[in-house]
Structure 1
């Protein structure tokens, strides 16, 4: 992907294999894998729930045992072609034959072993021939790649033994594939003809073979030798040819219990339109469906004059990341099917404990969680969100800091999928942006000395805020050392221009903090008419109010160092001398104290009156820059299934979050149509003049070109180069 954009791809390199037909290809494994074990759902710590697979090694390593990226290709003549992407962007290629003799292959598949080697399964298409397996190992030697190939354990199909010679001549092997690229010990082989098919499941075991003492170097009498051997596990017959298979992508522990409530499976599709779900470990058929029943929207959208041939079967299918859905192509339509039913009587019912475990797994590993929402029912969203919060509070401080933004992104998705949760989704998104900006502002402050016992200036501000509840901003600043709040202490005596430039570049971030504080305090008056509104949950959260107090103090001190970084306020003519930062700090302190006592803000008449007159003194900025819910893609989960979409056309209900927010605080149409940069916190106008990128998850916009000049903002922009603040991938806007 060019510039980490989903819809912009560029050619990185190429490797020519002239006259060869490619049968299988795979990327190198990086050796990193976190196991998903439903048996550990009752454990408290995330480090105990989700453990790393220590037996897995990278496919190719360089100096320092760090992995290298690249690909491996198998051709019809048994040629192995390898391309390695070096750290400097150079691509090194190498080729090697699987076997010394000539091969003519029809099917092949590739899987990674735990030792870092690559297992290749091949077939020439004949039922009477063996399924040959090879082990490929890679080694980097200076600027070249050494490929080593050796024969591994092979097998003959059980179908060959069950049918006569005449029947075997009419049958052939139609596909050879591993369960997935990380599961090299489970092989799925399909054979048959135009009338039926057999899917054989084979498991690779290490058989202990006694070795005669004359061949052993050990003097012990019970010397055993481990030999790989394929063992037949099951045969799944069907009176129609098999057309596609979809293996699981979720790396699971092998010792999965039967009482966990989580059912792992792999899916197979036949030419007669049958789609079956097979248990991953018992190989029993869990459910059987017809593709016409699953894809009801495909036939209803066809025009009466369409003369194209209609196919009654699935042409391709694949599982989603968590297995909660299947993506399939049928009659030229891309369909997403939910596999776990919402009915408790269904065999594929997923309990809430398993859903919480899946969502926690996505938080820890950084995977996308969109497909897990397919299994979430409307009635369990609030309980799932509460369980995630309770489990998060039990983690250590370091783990909480690491996954806090992922938890907020997940809550945005959960509440966005809830019919009555649009306001909570907007509040979580605003808190996510607040946490990201506060981390950047507090992170640039460093203590004068590097001693371990010294506290950072941000920590000193937190301690002072917890002690002072009088709401006087000047008094608390007088007790702090202003010299500690220089962005870069090394430049405060050498180059004041560099220091002021660093603070000036952060002015959009400080402006967002001030505007967000204004929006929260001005919305207190809505308590008279509404119980919930945009920002209502944040006004009752003392941690959010306390964080805003700390940021106001830091911003005020930075304004004393460099007045150019002070937020800009638009006041009325009769209050030109209003100190907005001091007023904001006083109101935030009073609201913070009430929340600490457990009292509601609407019951304090003095605070309520001052917040009500605040819009008459200061211009309140647009809600769009703080509560970014213009395009809530998770609203599709609030609709009645099945749904039908057209590429390039967005349904109207994606904008219901925007209409819900503006119902409480109406704004001008010009303010609603303004584009706002979620990363740099600047206004882009109605029609930005430069190329912009859009988040595929929350719909927020951002400039594609880097415009930062200071090192501080360059690091800030680089942090969000790969993904949005919510964790969604970027795509180039049209």
Structure 2
């Protein structure tokens, strides 16, 4: 079944479509009409979380060019019109920007030799803090690379047909670049300067000295370097390829090793085989080597060399090969020895460009264990065209041009692309998106489709999602390339594959699996209810884990059965009266501090509201003729979890009545918790026996709920302006955006009220703490993927609520990154 996957990977990319472009707002009097202001080198790079970091010559809010310098911005590919400035350099231009492997930290280097290490402040996209700074006076830094963390996971070619993740995806042996005490990988960067110096900047835990750094010469003598690239060796070393820029000079390679000794670090550099460009196909017209790029960052055996002439460019691929060197007959050697083996660089293939090369990028990671790893090379030319080349033979398999892809119905003055010069390009980690930036810092995002046509094969997409599930990589670039017609089938395949895993594997990847599946349904117009059910399921799981973690066994000697296990055993019995369940439990094991219970009231309220909404929707759900995808009402395990939570809430209400959920009911003597538990218990009994249909008496009781209790809206209307939404499938491509301006054509409001006539407040609801934030809160945290909002800080600071907040501090419940959103007064 996976034969098609490997055919696609080996064919690489065969289609390039411009998805969108993001430009700065300009006017007829703008200083950008002067071509001299466009001559700036801008950089761009994509993190493993699909966040682009890029540089501009002037700030976006400066229409007059008074902020001339070098400014570093970041933007999520799902909301690219929100650029967030990291730092500015008004004296020296930034020469290198690179994300670390986890996508949390950013290194920024410039012409003056300054190296800055930045990271998210409190995991917020638009708030940054500098964690390290090193300065190499008089050095022009031209290349940087973060230390490798030693984690590498690939799809095993020999076991591609296995149904188990543990066999299909293997953690390959790969040593960290720098080891600390206990073998823990160190964090830091390796830099290469234009004078042939290599430096290491390592982060430490010392507050007085946050970084330590060391320097060394790459070769025995210093030399001028204009092009460089770094890659990782599997033994923990770096491979560095450098060129002076002159085609007649050799391209030199070095093996660099960084070691930490106590509080200091040291560097050793060893020369490796080098080669001359003329050893391949002679290029009399080639005058300058502009770019060096390893084919894969974790494969040091292949190097791409880009060179330019006056009006043309060349791309070469060189590979390290073993070569047998014969031994002269006069030398005394054994008769059975014909010679000795050496490693040399051999020219493999060449591609000739009709215009000079301005940028080049290659595959970031190898997803399969096939050797050599399948990959591709994408080059950008001076005529604003892109060419995708296969690694084998450098055959052109796709091409596109910025000057040809814009819609003709747009005003030419607003979207004029006649003078676009591509400055830098980078490929996403999964390889489904290409980001390019021009000399003005405008961003362009291309879809890279590997299906030989206009869509991605279903099997290939499922395998990539499984790879994201195992590795933790972000899958947004894949979402933007999917067709709406294949998403439901893709969800079914992913679900079937996940359910074949062992119980331990399912439990380990449970949260990530729910996030992936929810994001798939969220971009479908008819999948909003399924996405809401999956989001509720994830929250039920998280609340259950948080509540049960507060329980302590009364008998410390007995560790085999705690309060959570005792509750689960009682819940499985056919008991519909919540008070009778309490008779089988030890109340001492469920005792919690009253102040802690009060801080959890909003979570308790949400559980009760969820149970109420599910039961009130049961009659409507029963009348559905056809239903597909996930439905919380049919999840026997999830319903039992809600019953367990209702029992815990019942016990906690006896300890502190003010923590109980609040209901607006028609009769004061109506015990809502007992009613909800009884109806859910009956529903679970019918769900457990698939041969029986739901009893009419249960349906009648659920129909009476809206008359007995005011049902609150569980999912308030959540408006979002983002790419990954159902509106994307109705847009004409490519789309044009402006920095700082939300595109109204992407506005999507999901109205998924479960019950007709339910109470709707019209307020923003905190996705994490389930409290009302008002109709237009001034400052909130907003998820860049699902658009959910949350409080920036919680005033209640009990240990339980701090643990709950910490659970979602790094990312939203959907896995998206937080950003601070401020509403204009």
The TM-score with structure 2 as length reference comes to 0.78
2:297·2:365 contact (CA, 8 Å) conserved in 1? no
Question: What are the Cα deviations for residues 646-667 of structure 1, in whole angstroms up to 9, with x where unaligned?
Answer: 34444456554523x2496456
CA contact (8 A) 1:210 1:222 kept: no
In 1, the alpha carbon distance for the partners of 2:764 and 2:315 equals: 54
- Aligned counterparts of 1:222 and 1:447: Cα–Cα separation in 2: 73
The structural deviation recorded for 1:32 is 0.9
Judging by fraction of residues, say which structure has more strand: 2
For residue 247 of structure 1, what is the aligned residue in structure 2?
362
Q: Find the counterpart in structure 1 of residue 413 from structure 2.
A: 304
31-40 vs 81-90, greater mean Cα deviation: 31-40
**Matched residue of 2:463: which SS?**
helix
Cα deviations across residues 338-361 of structure 1 (Å, max 9, x unaligned)? Answer: 22167xx63x86321111000011
Task: Quote the residue 1:236 is aligned against.
Answer: 351
Question: Within 5 Å, which residues of 2 pair with 1:56-205?
Answer: 56-88=174-206, 90-158=210-278, 162-163=282-283, 167=284, 171-205=287-321
User: Superposition pairs for residues 519-530 of structure 1, below 5 Å?
Assistant: 519-527=613-621
Matched position secondary structure for 2:553: coil
Q: Partner residue of 1:725? A: 813
Unaligned stretches of 5+ residues in structure 2: 1-119
Give 1:221 shift.
7.9
Q: Is the 8 A contact 1:172 1:192 kept in 2?
A: yes
Change in CA separation of 1:107 and 1:413 when aligned onto 2, cut-off 3 Å: same
Counterpart secondary structure, 1:31: coil
Q: Which residue of 2 aligns with 1:705?
A: 793
**For residues 220 and 29 of structure 1, do their structure 2 counterparts lie closer, same or farther at Cα, with a shift above 3 Å needed?**
farther
Match of 1:327 among 432, 435, 447: 435
Cα displacement (A) at 1:328: 2.2
| C-alpha contact 1:698 1:728 (8 A) present in aligned 2 | yes
1:718 shift after superposition: 1.4
Residues 543 and 105 of structure 1: CA distance in aligned 2, closer, same or farther (over 3 Å): same
Q: 1:536 to 1:630 in 2, by over 3 A?
A: farther
Distance verdict in 2 for CA 1:586–1:79, change over 3 Å: same
Q: Secondary structure at the match of 2:507?
A: helix
8 Å Cα contact 1:77/1:102 also seen in 2:
yes
Structure 2 SS opposite 1:12:
strand
Question: What's the CA shift string for 1:520-553, capped at 9, x where partnerless?
Answer: 1122343487668999922222222222111111
Q: For 1:412-455, what per-residue CA distance to the aligned partner results, in whole angstroms no more than 9, with x for missing partners?
A: 21112223222212221222222221221223334345668622
1:622 aligns with 2:733: no
Counterpart-to-counterpart distance in 1, 2:732 and 2:372: 32
* Structure 2 match to 1:552: 646
- Specify which of 657, 677, 684 is matched with residue 592 of structure 1: 684
* Corresponding pairs, count: 698
- 1:482 corresponds to which residue? 587
Q: Deviations over 1:94-115 (max 9, x none)?
A: 2222123231111111111111
Structure (1/2) with the larger helix percentage: 1
Contact 2:636–2:687 under 8 Å retained in 1: yes
Paired residue for 1:686?
Answer: 775
Q: Structure 1 residues 331, 551: CA separation in 2 closer, same or farther (over 3 Å shift)?
A: same
RMSD (CA atoms): 3.3
How far did residue 563 of structure 1 move? 3.0
Please give the alpha-carbon distance, in whole angstroms, between the structure 2 residues aligned to 1:463 and 1:544.
15
Partner Cα distance (2:414, 2:609) in 1: 56
Contact persistence 1:629–1:698 (CA under 8 A): no
Give 5+ residue unaligned stretches, structure 1: 488-498
Separation in 2, partners of 1:301, 1:600 = 60
**Residue 20 of structure 2: aligned partner:** none
2-structure distance, mates of 1:50, 1:211: 44
**CA–CA distance in 2 between the matches of 1:687 and 1:220?**
87
2:729 corresponds in structure 1 to 638
For residues 528 and 72 of structure 1, do their structure 2 counterparts lie closer, same or farther at Cα, with a shift above 3 Å needed? closer
Counterpart Cα distance in 1 of 2:220 and 2:371? 41
Distance 1:726 1:527, change over 3 A: closer
**Does the CA-based 8 Å contact 2:427-2:434 persist in structure 1?**
yes
Q: Is the CA contact (8 Å cut-off) linking 2:721 and 2:743 kept in structure 1?
A: no
Q: Which residue of 2 is the match for residue 495 of structure 1?
A: none
Matches within 5 A, 1:8-87: 8-37=127-156, 40-54=159-173, 56-87=174-205
- Cα 1:382–1:534 change in 2 (3 A) is closer
Higher relative contact order (CA 8 A, sep 6+): 2
Q: Distance in 2 between matches of 1:646 and 1:106?
A: 34
Q: Deviations over 1:45-97 (max 9, x none)?
A: 1111111121x211111111111111111111112222110134511122222
2:64 matched residue in structure 1: none
Task: Evaluate the alpha carbon distance shift between residue 100 and residue 369 of structure 1 in structure 2; reply closer, same or farther with a 3 A threshold.
Answer: same
Shift of 1:611: 1.7
Distance 2:414 2:488 in 1: 47
Alignment of 1:529-544 (within 5 A): 537-544=631-638
Partners of 1:331 and 1:667 in 2: CA distance: 53
- For residue 43 of structure 2, what is the aligned residue in structure 1? none
CA offset at residue 371 of structure 1? 0.9
- CA distance 1:312–1:381, change in 2 (3 Å): same
1:479 and 1:41 mapped to 2: Cα distance?
49
Give matches, 1:145-544, under 5 Å. Answer: 145-158=265-278, 162-163=282-283, 167=284, 171-207=287-323, 227-255=342-370, 264-293=375-404, 295-297=405-407, 301-304=410-413, 310-311=418-419, 314-329=422-437, 333-340=442-449, 346=453, 350-449=456-555, 454-469=560-575, 471-487=576-592, 499-527=593-621, 537-544=631-638
